Copies of this chain bind each other. A is one copy, B any other.
Amino acid sequence: MKTVGVIGLGLIGGSMAIDLKRRGFASTVLGVEQDPVAAEAALTIGLVDKVVDLPECVKEADIIIVAVPVGTAVKMVPAILDMVGEISLKDKIVIDVCSTKEQICKAVKYHPRRRRFVSTHPMAGTEYSGPWAAQPGLFDGRACIFANAEESAPKAVKVIEEMYDVLNMRPLYMNAEQHDLHTAYVSHISHVTSFALALTVLDKEKDEKHIFDLASGGFSSTVRLAKSNPDMWVPILSQNRDNVLRVMDTYIEKMKEFRNAVDQYDEETLRQLILEANRIKKIIR
């Protein structure tokens, strides 16, 4: 059993803490949380055994999970690897769980302790955030991406694979560039379309009562991601700018095709576009 340190006690860090302890992977979970309200909540809820400061966490933990927004993580991971060097080269593993991988992998590429770092992206979440959003079972059955795993020590990768196995995740391996491209195409664009939908509906429909009254299940599920936290999403969109721009441009084009068909009462084109969109059924149940 390991001592696990979780830096950032939000939805992802908190949910990992719960299941790693409950399922017997971690003997002790230490938490680091700079927001004192969140830190106290995490203790009260029982996400972690103890809230400590960063140096103590790095010193005590066998596995250090960096679960902060990616903009912060890019600076924090090299700093933690520096600290690890001062303490012990052996066995200590640092991982991140961020939604973009290219910049964080670049930031540590030439670090002398690069091989102690494993870059992962457990693909699970909800639109909520903070320790209050943490929940058991969040990761069950989802994919976890290992980015540039060949740059990590095979032993370190093996331990982290075992950890995600306890969380019931399916491992996938790809390089950081591929990861950022494919997540832009599948995950990041969905968030952007939801944000734009919420902005549109709030802008056009001045009377919120109408939104409330007329929102069917369809609207609610389409707009759900628009509740997502800017602290998480601003750095993702910034760090994955090029890929996100590319997919947004395609999206705007598709939207215009649709718009023109509606404009022209071109029912045949509309039908073809919808039938083509329906092919998503092949992939998503």
Residues of A bordering B, CB below 8 Å = 123-127, 142-143, 145, 172, 182-183, 185-187, 189-205, 208, 210-230, 233-235, 237-238, 241, 244-252, 254-259, 262-263, 265, 267, 270-271, 273-285
Are A216's CB and B244's CB within 8 A?
no
Are A248's CB and B241's CB within 8 A?
no
29 residue pairs bridging A and B, Cβ less than 8 Å apart: A124-B217, A143-B213, A143-B214, A186-B201, A186-B211, A186-B215, A187-B218, A193-B196, A194-B277, A196-B255, A200-B251, A200-B254, A202-B279, A202-B280, A203-B250, A204-B250, A208-B283, A221-B221, A223-B284, A227-B284, A228-B278, A229-B274, A230-B275, A233-B274, A235-B267, A238-B262, A241-B262, A245-B263, A248-B258
Given the interface contacts A215-B186, A221-B221, A224-B222, does A198 sit within 8 Å of B277 by beta carbon?
A: yes
Are A186's CB and B202's CB within 8 A?
no
| Identical copies of this chain, number | 2
Are A222's CB and B219's CB within 8 A?
no
Q: How far is the CB of A168 from chain B (nearest CB, A)?
A: 15
Chain B residues positioned under 8 Å from A190 (CB to CB): 197, 218-219, 222-223
Are A252's CB and B241's CB within 8 A?
no
Closest to A124 in B: B216
Q: How far is the CB of A155 from chain B (nearest CB, A)?
A: 26
Chain B residues positioned under 8 Å from A267 (CB to CB): 234-235, 238
Known contacts A196-B254, A199-B254, A252-B252, then 10 further A-B pairs from the complex at CB < 8 Å, ordered by chain A residue: A125-B216, A186-B215, A189-B200, A197-B251, A204-B246, A220-B284, A234-B271, A238-B265, A238-B270, A245-B259
Q: How far is the CA of A124 from the CA of B186 in the complex (A)?
A: 28
Are A199's CB and B278's CB within 8 A?
no
Q: How far is the CA of A195 from the CA of B271 in the complex (A)?
A: 11
Pick the contact of A185: B201, B227, B262, B278 (CB < 8 A): B201
Q: How far is the CB of A210 from chain B (nearest CB, A)?
A: 5
